[in-house]
Structure 1
Amino acid sequence: MVRSPIPRLCRQSLRISTRMTSSVPKPLSSKAADLHNPYFQQNPNQKDVWTLVNETAANAVAESGKPVTNLGQGFFSFNPPDFATNAVTQALQKPQFNQYAPARGNPNLLSSLSRFYSESYGREVDTLQIQITTGANEGIFSVFFAFLEAGDEVIVFEPYFDQYIPNIEMAGGVVRYVDIQCPEKLKSENVTGEDWTVDWEGLENSISDKTKIIVVNTPHNPIGKVFTEEELFRIGQLCIKHNIILLSDEVYENLYYSQAFPRPAALPSLPELASRTLTVGSAGKSFAATGWRVGWVQGPTDLIKYVTSAHTRICFSSPAPLQQAAAEAFSIAHENKYFELTREQYQAKYEIFNKVFDDLGLPYTSAQGGYFLLVNLSKLKIPEDYEYPADILGKGTKDYKLVYWLIKEIGVVGIPPTEFIAPERRINNPLENCVRFAVCKDDLLLEDAVTKLRKLKDYL
């Protein structure tokens, strides 16, 4: 049995009620800085990765007068399919879709997702097993908010999607990190996701009486790894043995490049795992529409009802017209084989982009899913006297220098992957020699990046 999350929700409601009825107003400080939540304390000398990379790109354009090719953040450079954008237009014409959607979600979208997951899992998935959220990130936060009490522990595989950490900590949880071990041979040859292996001893040693949730991201950002059925089986066994919830972040579920995509909630070798698995999905990733902010959580009703309670307190209702558009888009995608065609298109994008690294002998991890490419650039010989600004030097890792140099000298934007590692483990981490690129761009933009990256030959 999964531990009851009711005490968390009851105590949260009690804290809110107490603050509203018994707090005594205090005089406001004359300094706005004194009013902030300490959790969000910012060091003015430490810009976040997105600000730093985007500012560097903007400055490079201003100084050179030449455009840069942005393969940094994972947003799309092209529109969603016409049938999806047309569905938005149609939804906006109907009064009911311009008002609050039900807290649990648009019934049409719930029905579309019920059909989608029933076919994917090979068993019936009821609409009561799905909660619509304002993007996948809010869905993940809703899970943490629903089930974590102060001091509860969450195991996260490293590297990780950076939003996991604040989401866990803001809900009162404590993060325990377990390594996905970088293959040594990535220094000299291409590898696959299966070469990146879980530190199984570290995983077992990280489990304690306080462990409440294990987070899995498959397909994985930034590696591109799809967890195998054997790996999910071992993780699932530990969840069952220690009474732990498995949170499976599957936002790239429709972007996998093998014959099968193993899912924790549908493992034939461990069917009982479904009773404690919460699966997160995203319309934004599925339809190239990250700005829609429509996501969901799927799982057993005795867990989903608490996700619903948390979601209702966090934002109550998600964008109504975009939920309706997502509902129609899923139905049409089922008929016109959109996801199958999209996977073929992404494989072609990888062929365009990967070739330059093959030609230059720069090794990478062949993506099994998602839309990122992790490239090892340790062979590059950047001049030792190259000057970097204080913001870059302050990060203390090689990959920030690599990204800065690539933007300024080559004109291509990537992301330093040590940002997906806990700060105390970034120095001398194998990811220091890597850069993450996003290929969710139109082919002409990828070809432009390839042309620019060929200049790396002069630095090998």
Structure 2
Amino acid sequence: MSAATSPSERRVSARIGAISESATLAVDAKAKALKAAGRPVIGFGAGEPDFPTPGYIVEAAVEACRNPKYHRYTPAGGLPELKAAIAEKTLRDSGYEVDASQILVTNGGKQAIYEAFAAILDPGDEVIVPAPYWTTYPESIRLAGGVPVEVVADETTGYRVSVEQLEAARTERTKVVLFVSPSNPTGAVYSEADAKAIGEWAVEHGLWVLTDEIYEHLVYGDAKFTSLPALVPALRDKCIVVNGVAKTYAMTGWRVGWLIGPKDVVKAATNLQSHATSNVSNVAQVAALAAVSGDLDAVAEMRTAFDRRRQTIVRMLNEIDGVLCPEPEGAFYAYPSVKELLGKEIRGKRPATSVELAALILDEAEVAVVPGEAFGTPGYLRLSYALGDDDLVEGVSRLQKLLGEAKA
């Protein structure tokens, strides 16, 4: 081993050094920095609602700040009253009956995802990851010692993978399949029949399923959310559900998520969290308790706005020659294909990749989008429509003007 690569000389571990920065957060940070510098940038990068957290949730947090009970350590796995409320909320919204002992409250959905993979993966275990995927999934798998195996779906199938594709990717090392519906970054929603087929396939082969239900309440039109362990009861002993308050209640900054799973796995993940972070902020947990215990009226109002914006952005994007945008059925993202624009001349440049195209769009149109490379599928862009209606129209109008100049 050369001196340059010896452990004593390596400043950052190979394991951590291999992690890439979150592309979505990087785009959002750059857009905000440009805006702070006075440039009229419109950002489609961050996946967070533009609404304030509902007032009754904020008031619950204010009261918690005044209560000395919450000034101290609490159980690492979460406030008992919050875990009980999450169990009730899960039954109400998903038809999935669980006990509070099957729940771990985490610092956002990201911690839940990492701890879930860390609890069940051994080095070399494979996880089937449908792509396009959210940027954090493969990084969490690798951090836990696992190997992500990508299965790609494109716009021709509405970004939904089939059982046949999953089966083709399965090997003797496969331990887990990731299932996300509604999806980030595509907004794809699986039908009940397709979801059931995937769940039954996992049961047949003894696989674990990690299902991310963070966008459960953001579905539109005729699409319906279905919870996999509720739909396929035989899966429950090998299923981990990840969820949180971030998207449903406009609480991205509060950092409260959770995982639901078999008791032994939840206990192991709780042990990990007890050493990593201890309990989630008590004030944030009390706010989450108010959120999951309350009604869904505020959620319905936000969903109505997102649905309106969804229809607007899809229509406007599809008016651009060379852009093809399937209609998303859930979440708050559009994921258009821009493959026909690559290599064409736009203001003196010929972007060969969607990374280069996204950079050109930011420089020339002052619009921030995330390139498909971040989600495992080059040739696409992700645009979050969780921003004001006026900014949305202005931003896509700028795209129409710039991309409309493309020529061979």
- Letter in structure 1 aligned against 2:392: L
**1:259-274 counterparts in 2 under 5 A?**
260-267=224-231, 270-274=232-236
> Pick from 185, 198, 204: which aligns with 2:161?
198
Does residue 1:294 correspond to 2:290, yes or no? Answer: no
> Pick from 141, 144, 148: which aligns with 2:117?
144
CA distance in 2, matches of 1:142, 1:446: 36
Q: Is contact 2:333-2:385 (8 Å) kept?
A: yes
Q: Is contact 1:109-1:326 (8 Å) kept?
A: yes
Aligned residue in 1 for 2:12: 36
CA distance in 2, matches of 1:181, 1:438: 18
Structure 1: give runs of 5+ residues left out of the alignment.
1-28, 184-193, 422-430
* Partner secondary structure for residue 335 of structure 2: strand
In structure 2, the CA distance between the partners of 1:48 and 1:226, relative to structure 1 (3 Å rule), is closer
Aligned residue in 1 for 2:43: 70
Aligned residue in 1 for 2:180: 217
CA distance in 1, matches of 2:339, 2:124: 40
The structure richer in helix per residue is 1
> Pick from 366, 378, 386: which aligns with 1:440?
386
Does residue 1:407 correspond to 2:369, yes or no? Answer: no
Q: Is contact 1:219-1:370 (8 Å) kept?
A: yes
Aligned residue in 2 for 1:322: 284
Displacement of 1:180: 2.2
In structure 2, the CA distance between the partners of 1:242 and 1:379, relative to structure 1 (3 Å rule), is closer
Q: How many residues align?
A: 399
- Letter in structure 1 aligned against 2:17: Q
Instruction: Name the larger-Rg structure.
Output: 1
CA distance in 2, matches of 1:75, 1:403: 20
Displacement of 1:282: 1.5
* Partner secondary structure for residue 345 of structure 1: helix
CA distance in 2, matches of 1:42, 1:175: 14
> Pick from 291, 305, 318: which aligns with 1:345?
305
CA distance in 1, matches of 2:138, 2:196: 25
Displacement of 1:419: 1.4
CA distance in 2, matches of 1:138, 1:199: 28
In structure 2, the CA distance between the partners of 1:79 and 1:196, relative to structure 1 (3 Å rule), is same
CA distance in 1, matches of 2:8, 2:392: 45
Displacement of 1:48: 6.7
Displacement of 1:415: 0.2
Q: Is contact 2:120-2:265 (8 Å) kept?
A: no
Structure 2: give runs of 5+ residues left out of the alignment.
none
Q: Is contact 1:53-1:404 (8 Å) kept?
A: no
CA distance in 2, matches of 1:259, 1:199: 18
**1:419-458 counterparts in 2 under 5 A?**
419-421=374-376, 431-456=377-402, 458=404
- Letter in structure 2 aligned against 1:226: V
Displacement of 1:443: 2.6
Aligned residue in 1 for 2:197: 234
**1:37-436 counterparts in 2 under 5 A?**
37-41=13-17, 49=23, 53=27, 57=31, 66-122=39-95, 124-183=97-156, 195-257=158-220, 258=222, 260-267=224-231, 270-334=232-296, 337-360=297-320, 362-378=323-339, 380=341, 383=345, 386-387=348-349, 398-421=353-376, 431-436=377-382
Displacement of 1:47: 7.7
1:148-188 Cα distance to aligned partner (Å, 9 max, x none): 112222111122111112211221112222222441xxxxx
- Letter in structure 1 aligned against 2:330: G
Displacement of 1:132: 0.6
1:340-378 Cα distance to aligned partner (Å, 9 max, x none): 332222102223433422444643121111111112334
CA distance in 1, matches of 2:171, 2:184: 26
* Partner secondary structure for residue 252 of structure 1: coil
In structure 2, the CA distance between the partners of 1:280 and 1:47, relative to structure 1 (3 Å rule), is closer
Displacement of 1:286: 1.8
Cα root mean square deviation, aligned: 3.0
Displacement of 1:230: 2.3
